[in-house]
Amino acid sequence: MKINKARFWFGKNVLITGINGFIGGNLAKALLENGASVFGLVRNAARDTFLYYEKLDDKITLIKGDITEKDLLTRIISEEQINAVFHLAAQVEVGVGLANPYLTFETNTRGTWCLMEAIRACPQTIEAVVVASTDKAYGAYPAERMPYKEDYPLLPQYPYDVSKACADMIARTYANEIYRLPVVVTRFCNIFGPGQLNFSALIPDSTRACLGYGKFVPRGSGQQIRDFIFVGDVADLYLRIGEHLARNAAALRGRVYNAGTNQPRAVRDVLETVYRLSERKQDFAAVLEMMKGRETVGEIECQYMDFELVNRDFGWAPQHSFDDGVTRTIEWFKGYLAHKHDA
């Protein structure tokens, strides 16, 4: 993983909500490598995660609780003298959002205002608050309007997309001239890489099948257009945004930043890459056959992003090609799945 080695993070007290998730675990690893003291909010004691597999849990302070527990969040920020917050906790599965919108709104929307209120109650030590939104908050725009731009209106329709758009707007409310909290919102494309153990997601599901630990069943025609960014690049960008925000909050407070690769791919092309790099290309024809005539429900047809603004403001650009990222992901899953299978 390519990490920003600037000394800014050394000794900083950093809270990550959703630390036991895929992105939270990778960000925690990056912060530890930069000398930060990391605190993480965890809702359950699940140990089959990147955080525990990489043995990061004994290097950080884990606090059990829910993102909607405002008083607990306030105590953490106050007692631990938190300097930076990365808000990643979310119900992230589109399918779960369709089946259980209440849970999705409760976690993603209420959880965000509870956190913002906790920060507002004790802002003395807070230097940076980075809130993870998503490209899906924009809703469905025609392909000719791609890539998404930061000034596009948010037009979501489905529960997950709406919940994240609401959280996005709530977070930016606390950066206005009344509350003046140092908040930046990020909207990234699909993130993939080591530790993504949500097997309803395309790349981990197909990788697991290619490595012989399951069968991949397509959930659509494969014609949807998406953009995929490697998690190591995302961790690097989060560190850069957090540092710049802490150093220049007046200029960046309330900003929104998109990040993608501006290299859109059809889902079927993503699958072809996974099967090819897994040396299972001969099995891809059967996957193509299964995708014929399938329809995808509750998802947007075309979504991708560029990195123009984050490149201008932070000098950031993706450092991993898609093939490189997929190769690294496959190698990580080889070790993880073998370990899990032998356990």
Those residues with Cβ within 8 angstroms of residue 107's Cβ, 6 or more apart along the chain or in another chain: 67, 68, 89, 90, 91, 163
Q: Which residues, 6 or more positions from 30, have their beta carbon under 8 angstroms from its beta carbon?
A: 1, 3, 235, 236, 238, 239
Residues 33/39/43/48 CA torsion (nearest 10 deg): 30
Please answer whether residues 338 and 213 qualify as being in contact, where contact means their C-beta atoms are separated by less than 8 angstroms: no
Phi and psi for 38 in degrees, rounded to 5?
A: -110, 135
Task: Give the span between the Cα atoms of 179 and 265, in whole angstroms.
Answer: 41
Q: Write the CB contacts of 286 (distance below 8 Å, at least 6 apart in sequence).
A: none
Query: Which among 138, 148, 158, 160 is annotated as catalytic?
Result: 160
The answer to whether the Cα torsion of 73, 103, 153, 88 is positive or negative is: positive
Helix, strand counts (H, E) of the chain: 14, 11
Asked if residue 86 lies in contact with residue 130, where contact means CB atoms within 8 angstroms, the answer is: yes
52 a catalytic residue: no
User: Known catalytic residues?
Assistant: 160
